[in-house]
Amino acid sequence: MTRRVEVVEDILSANDHLAAQNRERLEAAGVFSVNLMASPGAGKTSLIERTAAGLGSEMRLAVIDGDLATSLDADRAAAAGAQAVQINTGGQCHLDAAMVRRGLEELDLSQVELLLVENVGNLVCPSAFDLGTRTRVLIASVPEGDDKPFKYPGSYHSIDVVLLNKIDLLPYVAFDVKRFLHGVEVLNPSLQSFLVSCQTGEGLEAWFAWLRREVAGMRAEVVR
Amino acid sequence: MTRRVEVVEDILSANDHLAAQNRERLEAAGVFSVNLMASPGAGKTSLIERTAAGLGSEMRLAVIDGDLATSLDADRAAAAGAQAVQINTGGQCHLDAAMVRRGLEELDLSQVELLLVENVGNLVCPSAFDLGTRTRVLIASVPEGDDKPFKYPGSYHSIDVVLLNKIDLLPYVAFDVKRFLHGVEVLNPSLQSFLVSCQTGEGLEAWFAWLRREVAGMRAEVVR
């Protein structure tokens, strides 16, 4: 097993190197970038559609979409008006920095202010791979249950933002919002959290406002 | 990358070898065994609780529980009356045959008729690792969306049974049951499927009846 551990460490260190290059490139271009992670079906693509619809007229948005096998998600992002690049991972369970670099090469970054990177739907593997984005966002969803921060600490740790999606289902599911938020905050004391429904639109305005501030802050940094 | 591919192949072939040993041991003991796979929060543990409550008085049930970090699931299985063994994967994104072997060593198989192995909540990685169980069951859930068979073909392929859980949420979520089942059946023409709600109990009787038949068939094989 030693050989396996060494190889895994080689891969992670090569990934970190590429992630640093991606980060440098994105920062230089003044692009605010987000690594969107979640379980399958928690609402990553719906959030991207909603965000494109809500902010598309104010800022230039691009999406890099990681998918195991199809282009269903990139099609939805493009239909919602975003510049969309599909990265087919060929079965790999997470995006890595090399894949994101290939995605960046297909985008004209001078025409992008906000980049959403949609990771593979998986609560375990993506968290180990830095992609070079400025921010890590985890989308949880009400039907998954309020115990997920306790059960998937690797993914819930070292995120900057959590969105709890599908709050329209709270009346029909046993879910203790306080228990959930407590679990996330224990792991990330400075966390930003939003309760939203991509179905009804509830709560999304606060997420948009946060993105507006972050994108404006990024512009100000580049101008300086 | 060639070196990485070789190492991955070594691991998979070592796993297959151990899985064959597990299978032999389980078949010899006349234990009907199930590898339960699903996204986080689709309802693996709830299904185990329901199954223990529904069948515990008729057959001897054991659970091997794979979890990243906690023993929450094994606690719930034990509370429902099953012999429960916790396997903490230490962050690994799937169970493997070596972990299941360690679990089997903690069980008295002569006292087990039905073994449920609860895999890590992940729709990508577990499908690559045979555990040596007789059957592979995937639990899908309504809020995840009806597109999952198309997006996670690796997990939806080569399963024996699909349970669609949380059908009590069908009135509140856009989910096309026909589209979902079509997607699963294209990948697995001889598939068994059950529509259930572990919340209300709806549909579970058919799942219990199927398990009864399989466990009885296994007993008959051992007697012969």
pLDDT for B22-40, tens place per residue? 999 999 999 999 999 999 9
- Quick one: what percent of chain A has pLDDT higher than 90? 71
Separation CA A48–CA A221 (nearest Å): 25
Pairing status of strand B83-88 against strand A192-195: unpaired
Which residue ranges make up each domain of chain B?
2-223
Give A34-63 pLDDT, tens digit per residue: 999 999 999 999 999 999 999 999 999 999
Residues 6+ apart with CB under 8 A from B141: A41, A143, B38, B39, B41, B42, B43, B164, B165, B166
**How many C-beta atoms lie closer than 10 Å to residue B29's C-beta?**
19
Question: Which of residues A6 and B15 earns the better pLDDT score?
Answer: B15
Q: Mean per-residue pLDDT for B150-164?
A: 91
Q: What is the pLDDT of residue A80?
A: 78
Which of chain A's residues have a Cβ under 8 Å away from the Cβ of B93? 93, 122, 124-125
Q: What is the pLDDT of residue A6?
A: 64
Q: What is the pLDDT of residue A90?
A: 80
Q: Mean per-residue pLDDT for A172-179?
A: 96
* CB pair distance less than 8 Å for B40 and A147: no
Which of chain A's residues have a Cβ under 8 Å away from the Cβ of B124? 68, 91, 93, 120-122, 125
Give A92-132 pLDDT, tens digit per residue: 899 999 999 999 999 999 999 999 999 999 999 999 999 99
Complex ipTM: 0.84
Separation CA A165–CA A141 (nearest Å): 5
* Banded pLDDT at A224 (limits 50, 70, 90): low
Give the up-direction half-sphere exposure of residue A121: CA atoms within 13 A in the CB hemisphere.
Answer: 29
* CB pair distance less than 8 Å for B151 and A122: no
Q: What is the DSSP letter of A145?
A: -
Separation CA B214–CA B135 (nearest Å): 10
Q: What is the pLDDT of residue A163?
A: 97
Q: Cβ(B55)–Cβ(B212) under 8 Å?
A: yes
Q: What is the pLDDT of residue B1?
A: 42
Give B173-202 pLDDT, tens digit per residue: 999 999 999 999 988 888 899 999 999 999
Separation CA B212–CA B150 (nearest Å): 31
> Scanning the structure block, which residue is given the tokens 């593979």?
A120
Find the residue in A nearest to B6 (Cα). A4
Pairing status of strand B61-67 against strand B83-88: parallel
Query: H-helix or E-strand containing B63?
Result: strand B61-67
Query: Is B14 at the interface with chain A, CB within 8 A?
Result: no
Residues 6+ apart with CB under 8 A from A219: A30, A113
Give A61-94 pLDDT, tens digit per residue: 999 998 777 777 778 878 877 889 998 888 889 9
Q: Cβ(B131)–Cβ(B31) under 8 Å?
A: no
Q: Mean per-residue pLDDT for A1-6?
A: 54
Query: Is A53 at the interface with chain B, CB within 8 A?
Result: no
* CB pair distance less than 8 Å for A154 and B91: yes
In our burial notation (b when 16+ CB lie closer than 10 A, e otherwise), range A169-186 reads beebbebeeeebbebbee
- Quick one: what percent of chain B has pLDDT higher than 70? 95
Q: What share of chain A is helix, strand, coil (3-state, %, to 5)?
A: 50, 20, 35
Separation CA A211–CA A205 (nearest Å): 10
Smallest Cα–Cα separation from B149: which of B193, B119, B206?
B193
Which of chain B's residues have a Cβ under 8 Å away from the Cβ of A145? 41
Mutate which: A120, A123, A141, vs B, most B CBs within 10 A? A123
Q: Residue A164 has which token pair? A: 């709890």
In our burial notation (b when 16+ CB lie closer than 10 A, e otherwise), range A32-70 reads bbbbbbbbbbbbbbbbbbbbbebbeeeebbbbbbbbbeb
Q: What is the pLDDT of residue B116?
A: 97
Give the up-direction half-sphere exposure of residue A36: CA atoms within 13 A in the CB hemisphere.
Answer: 26
The pTM (predicted TM-score) of the whole model is 0.89
Separation CA A19–CA A67 (nearest Å): 19
- Quick one: what percent of chain B has pLDDT higher than 90? 71
Q: What is the pLDDT of residue A1?
A: 42
Can you say whether the dihedral through the CA atoms of B201, A121, B119, A129 is positive or negative? negative
Mutate which: A2, A39, A119, A169, vs B, most B CBs within 10 A? A39
Q: What is the pLDDT of residue A5?
A: 58
A2-223 homologous superfamily: P-loop containing nucleotide triphosphate hydrolases (3.40.50.300)
* CB nearest A93 (choices: B67, B121, B124): B124
**How many C-beta atoms lie closer than 10 Å to residue A190's C-beta?**
6
Q: What is the pLDDT of residue B4?
A: 56
Query: Mean pLDDT over all residues of chain A?
Result: 91
Q: What is the pLDDT of residue A176?
A: 97
- Quick one: what percent of chain A has pLDDT higher than 70? 95
The answer to whether residue A2 scores a pLDDT higher than 80 is no
